Amino acid sequence: MESNYQKLIVWQKAMQLVTCVYQLTEDFPKIEVYGITNQMRRSAVSIPSNIAEGSQRRTNKDFIYFLRNSKASSAELETQLFIAENLKYLKNFELYKQCHAFILEIRKMLSALESKLTPNSNLQTPNLS
């Protein structure tokens, strides 16, 4: 059975980003398994997790709070991607570009959804049921 948050395209894209990050970090040095590899994976997982959790809250204000957490995690992950690039950990540059593109797209989508949920917005509140 599909939950309402699973219908959100931003959540679906965030799930694709998680897969992308896991694939990208597979080839990182083993010494980083508890370092940047773990941190990048946690940041990536945080994005769809916060969207899902926020969608189950009672108010739009609560949902917005979790969307902002997702956006913050996307910035954290983007920074970690840059660090991995600087450290020359990237074996698959195309996968890196794909992950980065997902981050930028997701951030825009999160901002748009936040605007729709914000009081006094000219846009209607989406029906998430």
Which pLDDT belongs to residue 121? 54
Q: Is residue 49 part of a domain?
A: yes
- pLDDT over 50 at 1, yes or no: no
**Tell me: the pLDDT tens digits for 27-40?**
999 999 999 999 99
Q: Is residue 35 part of a domain?
A: yes
User: Helix, strand, or coil here: 28?
Assistant: coil
- The pLDDT-based confidence of 126 (bands split at 50, 70, 90) is low
Q: Is residue 57 part of a domain?
A: yes
Q: Is residue 105 part of a domain?
A: yes
Distance CA 42, CA 7 (A): 23
Q: Is residue 124 part of a domain?
A: no
Distance CA 59, CA 33 (A): 38
- pLDDT over 60 at 129, yes or no: no
- Give the pair of three-digit tokens for residue 119: 């009081």
pTM: 0.89
Q: Tokens 């899902």 label which residue? A: 52
Q: Is residue 85 part of a domain?
A: yes
Which pLDDT belongs to residue 81? 97
Mean pLDDT of the chain: 92
Q: Where are the alpha helices (DSSP H) in 26-92?
A: 36-55, 60-86
Number of domains in the chain: 1
**Tell me: the pLDDT tens digits for 7-62?**
999 999 999 999 999 999 999 999 999 999 999 999 999 999 999 999 999 899 99
Q: Is residue 23 part of a domain?
A: yes
- Give the pair of three-digit tokens for residue 86: 């600087």
- Which CATH number covers residue 12? 1.20.1440.60
Half-sphere exposure of 89 (CA within 13 A, CB side): 25
Burial class (CB in 10 A: 0-12, 13-18, 19+), 99: buried
Give the structural domain span for 47.
4-116
Q: Is residue 123 part of a domain?
A: no
Q: Specify whether the backbone of 88 is left (phi greater than 0), alpha (psi in -120 to 50) or beta.
A: left
Distance CA 20, CA 36 (A): 15
**Tell me: the pLDDT tens digits for 64-104?**
999 999 999 999 999 999 999 999 999 999 999 999 999 99
